């Protein structure tokens, strides 16, 4: 009798386990079971917002309802902090990270999240070069000429704000070349660009979409792009690294990158579905035709490679911020 009871108990346990297993698998397969929220840690209308809304629109075909929520403030750290806190809905929330993710960690003290360890890294979606540009009537026609001029006298560079990728790209250049350059910050590219066009400042390391039309029209001169490879949208313009190697710029590289991250608690199944969905939409004509509109190229890193890339960005910008004494 005792042996029979043991067998019956084992059978019940096995049956319960096999009954639960399909339910668990089904739950994983059904993600997302709710609306996916894409957090944009900047105000509506900017580059990050435009890219995020395009991605959200394309993701709807793969994941169902995807909404965009703007959470601007403190160089992207407000929206990022919201995601890092997790809580209800964290498994259905993603965020469009950019250089501000790494720069914010470098210049804002007292952050309550770790920029790498508190997140899951889905994939880098888009990469946009910054461009070293000078006014059309500038006496400088090359990176070498500009460096010589900046070492001989005090030159100015503009940015759309302290801690922006435009600002930090110039600070990195200044640091590596030991040049005399004074930062002139503005409230956004809408104010910074006219100052550059009018010759009120000597140079800027602006995002490609902001300056490309003015380079094409001849109102600005492009001296170099900041990525490791030349841009297909400015194929005759060299990289900073290739023309600045004699000035300590051989390892110079910056870009405006835009990639999806999630809370560290997001399940593997959800992360996998997101990566698969992004791979599909990034291969579509509706995505590839969007890239030339903003002078962009598709991001290449995903998963741990993307995580390592962001970790390198955090380290790089922390060093630049410390050297330039940039704090908030």
- Decide the pairing of beta strands 203-207 and 155-159: parallel
What pLDDT sits at residue 89?
85
Pick from 94, 97, 55, 45: nearest CA to 76 = 97
CATH superfamily of this structure's domain 130-247? Periplasmic binding protein-like II (3.40.190.10)
Spatial contact of 70 and 42, defined as CB atoms under 8 Å apart:
yes
Run of H or E residues at 127? strand 119-128
Domain 33-128+255-324 shares a fold with domain 130-247:
yes
Per run of 10 residues, the mean pLDDT along the chain (length 328 residues) is 46 47 50 96 90 97 96 92 91 96 92 96 96 97 96 93 93 94 91 95 95 96 96 96 94 96 96 97 97 93 96 96 90
In the chain the first and final C-alpha atoms are separated, in Å, by 75
Run of H or E residues at 99? helix 99-107
In this structure, which topology does domain 33-128+255-324 adopt according to CATH?
Answer: D-Maltodextrin-Binding Protein; domain 2 (3.40.190)
Distances (CA, A) of 52 to 37, 234, 284: 11, 25, 16
DSSP state of 302: B
What pLDDT sits at residue 9?
46
What pLDDT sits at residue 26?
46
What pLDDT sits at residue 149?
95
What pLDDT sits at residue 304?
96
Q: How far, in Å, CA of 71 to CA of 84, rounded?
A: 13
Q: How far, in Å, CA of 247 to CA of 244, rounded?
A: 5
- Domain-by-domain residue ranges, the chain? 33-128+255-324, 130-247
Spatial contact of 59 and 281, defined as CB atoms under 8 Å apart:
yes
What pLDDT sits at residue 46?
85
């Amino acid at each position: 009798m005792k042996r029979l009871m043991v067998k019956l108990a084992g059978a019940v346990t096995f049956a319960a386990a096999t009954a639960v297993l399909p339910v668990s698998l089904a739950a994983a397969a059904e993600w997302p079971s709710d609306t996916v929220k894409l957090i944009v840690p900047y105000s509506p209308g900017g580059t990050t917002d435009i890219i995020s809304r395009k991605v959200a629109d394309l993701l709807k075909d793969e994941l169902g309802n995807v909404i965009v929520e703007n959470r601007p403030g403190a160089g992207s750290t407000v929206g990022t902090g919201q995601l890092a806190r997790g809580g209800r809905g964290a498994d259905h929330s993603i965020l469009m990270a950019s250089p501000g993710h790494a720069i914010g960690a470098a210049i804002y003290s007292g952050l309550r999240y770790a920029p790498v360890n508190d997140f899951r890294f889905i994939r880098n979606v888009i990469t946009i070069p910054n461009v070293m540009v000078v006014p059309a009537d500038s006496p400088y026609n090359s990176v070498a000429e500009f460096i010589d001029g900046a070492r001989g006298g005090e030159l100015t560079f503009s940015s759309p704000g302290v801690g922006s990728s435009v600002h930090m790209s110039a600070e990195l250049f200044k640091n590596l070349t030991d040049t005399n350059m004074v930062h002139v910050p503005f409230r956004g590219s809408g104010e910074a660009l006219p100052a550059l066009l009018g010759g009120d400042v000597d140079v800027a390391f602006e995002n490609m979409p902001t300056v490309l039309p003015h380079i094409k029209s001849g109102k600005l001169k492009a001296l170099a792009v900041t990525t490791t490879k030349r841009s297909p949208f400015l194929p005759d313009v060299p990289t900073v690294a290739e023309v600045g190697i004699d000035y300590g710029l051989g390892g110079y590289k910056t870009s405006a990158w835009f990639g999806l991250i999630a809370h560290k608690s997001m399940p593997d199944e959800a992360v996998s579905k997101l990566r698969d969905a992004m791979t599909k939409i990034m291969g579509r004509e509706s995505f590839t035709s969007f890239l030339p509109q903003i002078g962009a190229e598709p991001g290449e890193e995903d998963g741990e490679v993307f995580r390592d890339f962001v970790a390198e960005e955090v380290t790089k910008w922390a060093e630049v911020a410390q050297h330039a004494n940039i704090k908030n």
